[in-house]
A and B are shown apart, each in its own frame.
Chain A
């Protein structure tokens, strides 16, 4: 009986599990916390879905790529580059 109570207290509820997701993905959970988290996932399809959504969120953010410069901005940056080159070639170089 006592053992069952202790086990129950160590079980995670969903509200706690969602707060461990980043630690889990970063592999920074303690061994015990990681074991409890994985044990929770094994019986909880909702938290498994939640973890999948966090992974999808990270993947989507990772797809935000470079952005083309507008023509005037491009001209500004090329001018900056040319000024720098002129300085490098100049007396101060």
Chain B
């Protein structure tokens, strides 16, 4: 996979100057996360694809007017979320902002006093091994899709795309505290998945 290291801002400039490869690179960079997020609002992958396609058209139309007040990726995701929400409302599917209050760790792993009864086994350096990391990354992708919609959005924006918490709050229009709860649940769940599949020595 050829990973372009060009900045988003640079790609956006080139796209405005007629460079279609710059557009394709930007699409490749953000489309997977956009699909994950769109799917939080609309029924079915086909509609999510449509929303993402529409978003890219809106991005092209707005590219010349982008003023750089936020980062390009924050701007992209805000366009996406706005579109996904209006389509989602039209499709009469709204996802409640429920915050699934499952604890971070299965409670049976603690004793009555609240200390570890079944402590986490040390993750060996194999987790850092490149091939292993690729396998785990594949598993994490599917685990992220299985997260409740709101957790999926926050984890995607924070941990895959690397947005700051204030950017995520701006894109999703949620409070810092809410963002943190969703992030906590989402990350804790991903850790559980990695532990149950790869964590045993």
Q: Could you tell me which A residues sit within 8 Å of B by CB distance?
A: 13-16, 18-19, 21-23, 26, 28, 46-47, 49-50, 52-54, 56-58, 60-69, 74, 76-78, 80-82, 84-85
Q: Which 10 A-B pairs have the closest CB atoms?
A: A13-B114, A46-B119, A22-B184, A15-B114, A61-B159, A84-B60, A66-B29, A15-B110, A57-B191, A46-B116
User: Chain B interface residue count: which class?
Assistant: 35 or more
Give min CB distance, A16 to chain B, whole Å.
7
Establish whether residues B1 and A26, one from each chain, have CB atoms under 8 Å apart when the complex forms.
no
Give min CB distance, A67 to chain B, whole Å.
5
Q: How far is the CA of A9 from the CA of B95 in the complex (A)?
A: 40
| Residue in B2, B53, B127 whose beta carbon sits within 8 Å of that of A56 in the complex | B127
Establish whether residues B120 and A60, one from each chain, have CB atoms under 8 Å apart when the complex forms.
no
Chain B CB within 10 Å, residue with most, of A50, A57, A58, A76 = A57
Closest-by-CB residue of A relative to B61 is A84
- Assess whether B18 is interfacial by the CB under 8 Å rule: yes
Establish whether residues A61 and B160, one from each chain, have CB atoms under 8 Å apart when the complex forms.
yes
Q: Can you list 25 contacts pairing A with B, beta carbon distance less than 8 Å?
A: A14-B116, A18-B103, A22-B187, A28-B176, A47-B116, A49-B120, A53-B123, A53-B191, A53-B199, A54-B187, A57-B190, A58-B159, A60-B127, A60-B133, A60-B136, A60-B140, A61-B159, A64-B137, A66-B30, A67-B31, A68-B2, A69-B27, A78-B24, A81-B15, A84-B60
Contacts A18-B103, A49-B119 aside, 11 further interface pairs with beta carbons under 8 A come to: A21-B104, A21-B184, A22-B188, A26-B165, A26-B180, A46-B116, A62-B159, A64-B137, A67-B32, A74-B24, A80-B53
Establish whether residues B120 and A50, one from each chain, have CB atoms under 8 Å apart when the complex forms.
yes
Note all chain A residues with C-beta closer than 8 A to B180.
Answer: 22-23, 26, 28
Knowing A15-B110, A28-B180, A78-B20, say if A58 contacts B122 (CB, 8 Å). no
Q: How far is the CA of A54 from the CA of B105 in the complex (A)?
A: 12
Establish whether residues B137 and A18, one from each chain, have CB atoms under 8 Å apart when the complex forms.
no
Main secondary structure on A side of the interface with B? helix
Establish whether residues A69 and B114, one from each chain, have CB atoms under 8 Å apart when the complex forms.
no
Closest-by-CB residue of A relative to B185 is A22
Note all chain A residues with C-beta closer than 8 A to B137.
Answer: 60, 63-64
Closest-by-CB residue of A relative to B57 is A80
Q: How far is the CA of A14 from the CA of B112 in the complex (A)?
A: 11
Of residues 66 through 120 on chain B, the ones whose CB sits less than 8 Å from some CB of chain A are 103-105, 107, 110, 113-116, 119-120
- Assess whether B146 is interfacial by the CB under 8 Å rule: no
Note all chain A residues with C-beta closer than 8 A to B15.
Answer: 81
Note all chain B residues with C-beta closer than 8 A to A69.
Answer: 24, 27-28, 31
Note all chain A residues with C-beta closer than 8 A to B113.
Answer: 13
